[in-house]
Amino acid sequence: MFIRARTEEQFNERRQEIIHATQFLYQQYSFREINFSKISEKTKIARSTIYNYYLNKEEIFLDIILEHFMNIKKGIEENLLEVKLDRADLVDKITKILMDNYELLVLISLYIEQIEYTCSQEKLNDFKLHIKDLNEVLIKMTKFQFPNARETLIQYFIQAFYSALHGIAPACSPIKKQKIAMEKAGIYVKFEKKEFISFYINTILSCLYDKTTL
């Protein structure tokens, strides 16, 4: 029997139920195929009631993306802020954090513009405030691991890091139609996700290891 949320705790629990149902559906359907009707069937929450929690499915996916970003923030705080690591270990740690949140890489590479455009301004403002928290942890981590790095290099690394998040999935996980087209054109190259992420992270870290850069 469905019970309407009456407290803030119940409200948040219901939102988590909607988020987890949407994540489950995303394993079976494409982003475009998911709608409130499917989410309602999975959660047993009436389609009309879901609107009490989210304006549209894009706002649900924005919360999914935010959860992954916060997982990355947590991974950095737990693994990269207490012990200085050599280059290989640093690359391995960051690679693992991103592999654990690969769903994020797919979502932001394919749908972030649509998701952000469709969400309410209030929802997007809140999302960006949380991203600011991640940004501050990235700065803290970079200054800890590279105490002599110039501010310019730190900012270049962070922007390169965000760019990497958008660029990894298209290389490793092109959608079916893209893959077929690239195969027919003879330009498809299969990349192993973990190896490619390690290569990408190692590459963008170069500006911090190469003291002559910038």
Tell me what pLDDT residue 124 has.
96
Tokens at residue 161, please? 């890091």
- Res 1: pLDDT: 44
pLDDT per residue as tens digits for the range 59-74: 999 999 999 999 999 9
Cα–Cα distance, 179 to 159 (Å, whole number): 28
Q: How far apart are CA 140 and CA 168, in angstroms?
A: 24
Given this model, what pLDDT does residue 5 score? Answer: 59
Q: Are 38 and 86 in contact (CB under 8 A)?
A: no
Residues of the chain with pLDDT under 50: 1-2, 212
Q: Distance between CA atoms of 40 and 44, rounded to whole angstroms? A: 5
pLDDT for residue 213? 52
Q: How many angstroms separate the CA atoms of 26 and 131, rounded?
A: 23
Per-residue pLDDT reduced to its tens digit, 125-147: 999 999 999 999 999 999 999 99
User: Taking the C-alpha atoms of 141, 146, 149 and 153 in order, what is their torsion angle to the nearest 10 degrees?
Assistant: -50
Buried b / exposed e over 192-214, threshold 16 CB at 10 Å, is: ebeebbbebbbebbebbeeeeee
pTM: 0.90
- Token pair for residue 126? 């809140």
3-state secondary structure 97-158: HHHCCHHHHHHHHHCHHHHHHHCCHHHHHHHHHHHHHHHHHHHHHHHHHCCCCCHHHHHHHH
